[in-house]
């Protein structure tokens, strides 16, 4: 089911990323990279036509002037608060300040800007210690929230009306679930994925996770790989067979049927297929079947044996061995890891929420 906030590519989703001298460049530009690569990178890896991201990430600061970030990297903002187009999302990526640091009015322009963006209908986000600034807006009163575990106890004392959860990696909260907060460390990646799921689609978010190897567990990169990357062969005859295989990979004797479709002797067909794709025809069919199996394990509760049958394997044991060899996880391990991620992203996508009101009149 597509997100209710999915937009046309001609209407970019403006994500304003707050730049301050206390920000870490890695997290700030990590958001930029992940959001800018949505759809674009998947198409590139699969040999598809060039496609732009539906997101327009902008680094925004109070005056738009270059500054040195908390880790010494020179940051050149894209815009000042006054120059920034009305944002759909505003994110406080992080603040490199010790827990309990007195802010003494340091961020009053930033707090006012966040409040104005909220009043105009923007979704607000924070990751890690960025919650320190978001809490100063008063918008977290009476709702759930999270931050880095080292900050939550102090935040709970300073903002007792907010329910702080140091144990939660991602919190979707507030009126109309318009506040998204990520907890410690690399959980900013989950915030980025949640925003992609909500404003583009859960499928786009899953693809971004797989391309960027986003996970909180020790997992082989092979588990994230799209087995079907590479696109169609330049050889028109083989490309025609690839298209047939994409629609009929469940069929019995698929290699013989592709050879018949090609009009070539089977041995000649196999040789030409390898030359065009780098894979033997049967290996290519296995690739298509396993990629579909991965999708079914992510999105359904079908037993593994049923998944095997659905994608064309009569022997579940063979399917399990092949899956583990190609994906580096058993089917059950893959479902536990990526099925949970897919459900989290689908919930964060807000697909069950009412359509957002028009932002600008």
pLDDT for position 313: 96
Residue 154 burial (CB < 10 Å; 0-12/13-18/19+)? middle
Burial of residue 12 (CB within 10 Å: 0-12, 13-18, 19+) is middle
CA separation for the pair 210, 74 (Å, rounded) = 30
pLDDT value at residue 251: 92
At 38 the pLDDT is 97
Q: What is the pLDDT of residue 360?
A: 37
Q: How confident is the model at residue 213, as a pLDDT?
A: 82
pLDDT of residue 184: 82
H or E segment and range at residue 89: strand 89-92
Backbone phi and psi for residue 57, each to the nearest 5 degrees, phi listed first: -80, 130
In whole angstroms, give the CA distance from residue 103 to residue 23. 15
Note if the pTM is more than 0.85. no
CA distance 61 to 19: 5
Task: Going from the first residue of the chain to its last (361 residues), give the mean pLDDT of each consecutive group of 10, the final group possibly shorter.
Answer: 45 96 95 96 88 97 95 95 97 92 90 98 96 96 94 91 91 95 89 96 92 70 65 86 93 94 95 91 94 93 96 96 93 91 82 43 35
Q: What is the pLDDT of residue 141?
A: 97
Q: Which of 49, 10, 351, 27 is nearest to 205 (CA)?
A: 351
pLDDT in the model for residue 285: 95
Give the rounded distance of the alpha carbon of 300 from its chain centre.
19
Radius of gyration of the chain (CA): 24
């Amino acid at each position: 089911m597509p997100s209710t906030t999915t937009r046309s590519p001609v209407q970019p989703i403006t994500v304003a990323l707050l730049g301050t001298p206390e920000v870490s460049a890695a997290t700030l530009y990590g958001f930029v990279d992940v959001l800018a690569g949505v759809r674009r990178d998947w198409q590139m890896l699969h040999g598809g036509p060039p496609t732009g991201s539906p997101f327009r990430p902008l680094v925004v600061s109070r005056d738009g002037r270059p500054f040195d970030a908390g880790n010494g990297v020179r940051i050149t903002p894209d815009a000042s608060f006054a120059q920034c187009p009305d944002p759909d999302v505003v994110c406080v990526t992080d603040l490199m300040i010790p827990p309990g640091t007195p802010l003494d009015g340091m961020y009053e322009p930033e707090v006012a800007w966040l409040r104005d963006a909220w009043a105009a209908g923007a979704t607000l986000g924070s990751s890690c210690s960025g919650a320190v600034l978001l809490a100063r807006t008063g918008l977290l009163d009476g709702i759930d929230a999270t931050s880095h575990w080292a900050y939550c106890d102090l935040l709970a004392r300073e903002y007792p009306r907010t329910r702080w959860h140091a144990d939660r990696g991602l919190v979707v909260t507030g009126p109309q679930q318009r506040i998204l907060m990520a907890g410690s460390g690399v959980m900013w990646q989950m915030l980025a994925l949640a925003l992609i799921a909500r404003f583009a689609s859960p499928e786009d978010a899953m693809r971004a996770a797989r391309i960027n190897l986003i996970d909180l567990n020790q997992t082989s990169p092979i588990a994230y790989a799209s087995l079907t990357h590479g696109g169609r062969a330049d050889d028109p005859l083989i490309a025609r067979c690839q298209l047939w295989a994409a629609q009929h990979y469940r069929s019995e004797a698929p290699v013989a049927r592709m050879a018949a479709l090609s009009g070539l002797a089977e041995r000649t067909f196999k040789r030409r297929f390898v030359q065009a794709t780098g894979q033997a025809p049967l290996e290519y069919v296995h690739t298509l079947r396993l990629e579909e199996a991965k999708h079914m394990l992510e999105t359904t509760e079908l037993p593994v044996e049923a998944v095997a049958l659905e994608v064309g394997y009569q022997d579940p044991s063979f399917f399990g061995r092949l899956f583990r060899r190609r994906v580096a996880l058993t089917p059950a391990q893959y479902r536990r890891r990526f099925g949970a991620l897919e459900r989290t992203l689908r919930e964060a996508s807000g697909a069950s929420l009412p359509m957002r009101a028009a932002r600008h009149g």
